[in-house]
Amino acid sequence: MSVLPHASISEYESKRARQRCRYYFGRVVQLTNKTGRRVIQYRQITGSTRLVTLLGYPVTHSLSPLIHNAAFAAAGLDYAYVTAAVEPGNLKQAIEGLAALGVAGSNVTVPHKQEVHDLIDVTSEDARFIGAVNTLTFDRSGDRCRISGDNTDIEGFTRSLDLYRPNLINSTVAVLGAGGAARAVSYALLKDFQPESLTLVVRDIQKGLVAANVLDTIAGDCQMAVVTFAEASDSIRSSRLVINATPAGMAPNADVTPWETATDFHSGQLVYDLIYAPEKTRLLAEAENMGAETLNGLEMLIWQAAASFKLWTNEEMPVDTVRQILQEHLAKR
């Protein structure tokens, strides 16, 4: 069966079964009977399909297989994405196994994002700085496989703010949280948006100070601060951009918010929740009621995937198709 040009939908009349064979994108095939009822739909895997994996524990909740398999099919690329539940302690063997298998790449998620750094050949400056790798690329030459690590959350976050960029340069920013995402978005802001001030709002002041001390080395003229949630009202009120980089409010805990005092929000602010499920968190609903602009984490999710996709395939991810598929999927959940 030949593969049709990507993103095309065409029909082929099977001589034997008189079934209609419809190719959705390049690699998803749907057979329908004479009345148009779907008989079977399948994804083509060939003898030369390149493999991409997700290494994490657990991995069953991940949207990455949906994103990347849709993107590979839409781009007509002979790649497949699968998850691998790798228990803590087994990462080294898993990576060696992937290198031996000749995979094209991997995503890395909790709990391996830090440990993976010591198991690969080279880590990008960005990933090294924030201490977390989320994407591996395996380059084979002869019998040698070189494994590179990157963090595409940084580019994903930056791209997600493309529309807002002119109004965000030299702004005041508050970031809730001090974990991996908080470090990635703070790094991206310091590198690309020259904030006037950046305040980390944290539960644990020691963790906040550790993160802030690292970020301070690239802060330049930006005024860095760390405050606890109890002390953060002034920072929230005076920030042009407020980012939730905590899991508070994520499904199934949609009744929770990381910031209880909704009256601190106002027009002229952008309140950005890195959570994408639910689509509108309590934080975003309350900020919107107070007149703030709001943004959820879907664009960051899409753009970090696009950056990983580019590293593995050297091609642009069909972002609009992926966005549509993701939105439909999330709406059904």
Nearer to ligand NAP, 133 or 245 (CB): 245
Q: Residue 140: how many CB atoms within 10 A of its CB?
A: 12
* Dihedral pair phi/psi, residue 183, rounded to 5°: -65, -40
Nearer to ligand NAP, 258 or 318 (CB): 258
Q: Which residue is nearest to ligand NAP (CB)?
A: 179
Indicate if 113 belongs to the active site: yes
Nearer to ligand NAP, 301 or 325 (CB): 301
Nearer to ligand NAP, 81 or 276 (CB): 276
Q: State the nearest-atom distance from the C-beta of 12 to ligand NAP, in Å.
A: 38
Q: State the nearest-atom distance from the C-beta of 73 to ligand NAP, in Å.
A: 22
Q: State the nearest-atom distance from the C-beta of 120 to ligand NAP, in Å.
A: 20
- Would you state the structure tokens that stand for residue 314, as one six-digit string? 């050297």
CA dihedral 250, 251, 252, 254 (to 10 degrees): 70
Q: State the nearest-atom distance from the C-beta of 135 to ligand NAP, in Å.
A: 12
- Rounded Cα gap, residues 309 and 73, in angstroms: 12
Q: Residue 314: how many CB atoms within 10 A of its CB?
A: 7
Q: Residue 245: how many CB atoms within 10 A of its CB?
A: 25
Nearer to ligand NAP, 130 or 168 (CB): 130
Q: State the nearest-atom distance from the C-beta of 87 to ligand NAP, in Å.
A: 19
- Rounded Cα gap, residues 166 and 82, in angstroms: 38
Strands 105-108 and 50-56: parallel
Nearer to ligand NAP, 3 or 224 (CB): 224
Tally of CA atoms within 13 A in the half-sphere of 103 that contains its CB: 24
- Would you state the structure tokens that stand for residue 174, as one six-digit string? 């508050």
Q: State the nearest-atom distance from the C-beta of 245 to ligand NAP, in Å.
A: 5
User: Cα–Cα distances in Å, from 261 out to 200, 229, 236, 266?
Assistant: 17, 11, 10, 12
- Rounded Cα gap, residues 207 and 200, in angstroms: 10
- Rounded Cα gap, residues 61 and 168, in angstroms: 33
Return residues touching ligand NAP (CB under 6 A): 153, 156, 177-182, 203-204, 207, 245-248, 250, 258, 274-276, 297, 300-301, 304
- Catalytic residue (choose from 92, 113, 280, 332): 113
- Please give the positions annotated as active site: 113
